[in-house]
């Protein structure tokens, strides 16, 4: 009996998500990148960062 080893199982897709708040601009930054790990090497396929500007509280009282 011969065992067949699949090379596709050695690679896997990993999705990373990192979010932080910029203390100077008070912006919420979310960074998401997709990487593929194959044979111990990680290759970044797609990287996207988006900035969500938080509305500043109004100083004027109605």
pLDDT tens readout for residues 24-58: 888 888 899 999 999 889 898 888 887 777 665 65
Quick check: is 39 in a domain? Answer: yes
Query: What sign for the dihedral angle of Cα 21, 49, 9, 37?
Result: negative
The neighbour count for residue 21, using CB atoms within 10 Å, is: 11
Quick check: is 47 in a domain? Answer: yes
- Give the model's pLDDT for residue 32: 92
Quick check: is 6 in a domain? Answer: no
- Give the model's pLDDT for residue 59: 59
Quick check: is 25 in a domain? Answer: yes
User: Which of 4-8, 21-25, 30-34 is modeled with the greatest confidence?
Assistant: 30-34
List the domain range (segments joined by +) for residue 27: 11-53
Quick check: is 61 in a domain? Answer: no
- Give the model's pLDDT for residue 34: 94
pTM over 0.75: no
Quick check: is 15 in a domain? Answer: yes
- Candidates 51, 62, 46; CA nearest to 22 is 51
DSSP strands (E only) in 22-61: 27-38, 41-53
- Candidates 34, 39, 41; CA nearest to 13 is 34
Domain count, the chain: 1
């Amino acid at each position: 009996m011969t065992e067949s080893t699949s090379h596709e199982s050695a690679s896997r897709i990993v999705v990373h998500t990192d979010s932080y708040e910029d203390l100077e601009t008070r912006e919420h930054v979310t960074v998401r990148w997709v990487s593929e790990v194959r044979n111990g090497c990680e290759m970044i396929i797609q990287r996207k960062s988006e900035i969500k500007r938080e509305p500043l509280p109004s100083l004027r009282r109605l």
